[in-house]
Amino acid sequence: MTSFTDTAPPPISEQGWFARSESWLDSKGKGAWIAAMVLGFVFFWPIGLALLFYMIWSKKMFASSCRHRTRRNDWSRHSMSSTGNNAFDAYKEDTLRRLEQEQSDFESFLQRLRDAKDKAEFDDFMDDRAKAASADPETTTKNA
């Protein structure tokens, strides 16, 4: 037994007016959605507000920014590929390796710096506590 699911949208004649208008606005792009929202605010503000909420809820407002983000990731993956120039590829690989080493050295330096600062603060705390205990010996003997 085989199962078949129809993933194609229903024909336009079977869609309702809302689905048809959504498809029409999608085919025109984000500018059409924004124009419809502005016109909704001009003629009857609840319609404009409803369109704004729908655009945010359905993520139609931010669809192009997501595409831009994936293009940037494609570019970074492409930058790691070979250019065909062996000398440049060797230089690029050397430079990237050196930068990664410098980054790890700097991060370890920052960690040592944080550790030293924490130790100094703890030592100051312990010194202050010891001074307070030695300045008031009667309180410590009464509590014991």
Report pLDDT digits (tens) over 58-105: 766 665 544 444 455 555 555 667 888 899 999 999 999 999 999 999
Name the residue range of residue 47's domain: 13-61
Is the same domain home to 21 and 55? Answer: yes
Report whether pLDDT(11) > 60.
no
- Domain membership of residue 31 (yes or no) is yes
Structural domain total, the chain? 2
- Domain membership of residue 78 (yes or no) is no
Residue 118: the pLDDT is: 95
- Contact between 47 and 40 (Cβ < 8 Å): yes
Q: Where is average pLDDT lowest: 28-32, 36-40, 112-116?
A: 28-32
Residue 46: the pLDDT is: 86
Report whether pLDDT(139) > 90.
no
Q: How far apart are CA 135 and CA 66, in angstroms?
A: 65
Is the same domain home to 94 and 140? Answer: yes
Q: How far apart are CA 55 and CA 35, in angstroms?
A: 12
Is the same domain home to 136 and 94? Answer: yes
Is the same domain home to 91 and 127? Answer: yes
Higher-pLDDT residue of 98 and 135 is 98
- Domain membership of residue 47 (yes or no) is yes
Is the same domain home to 97 and 131? Answer: yes
Q: How far apart are CA 117 and CA 115, in angstroms?
A: 5
- Domain membership of residue 52 (yes or no) is yes
- Domain membership of residue 45 (yes or no) is yes
Higher-pLDDT residue of 61 and 128 is 128
Residue 65: the pLDDT is: 47
Residue 66: the pLDDT is: 46
- Domain membership of residue 67 (yes or no) is no
**Mean pLDDT taken over the chain:** 78
Is the same domain home to 93 and 48? Answer: no
- Contact between 30 and 63 (Cβ < 8 Å): yes
- Domain membership of residue 98 (yes or no) is yes
- Domain membership of residue 3 (yes or no) is no
pTM of the model: 0.36
Tell me what percent of the residues of the chain surpass a pLDDT of 70: 69
Higher-pLDDT residue of 55 and 110 is 110
- Contact between 56 and 49 (Cβ < 8 Å): no
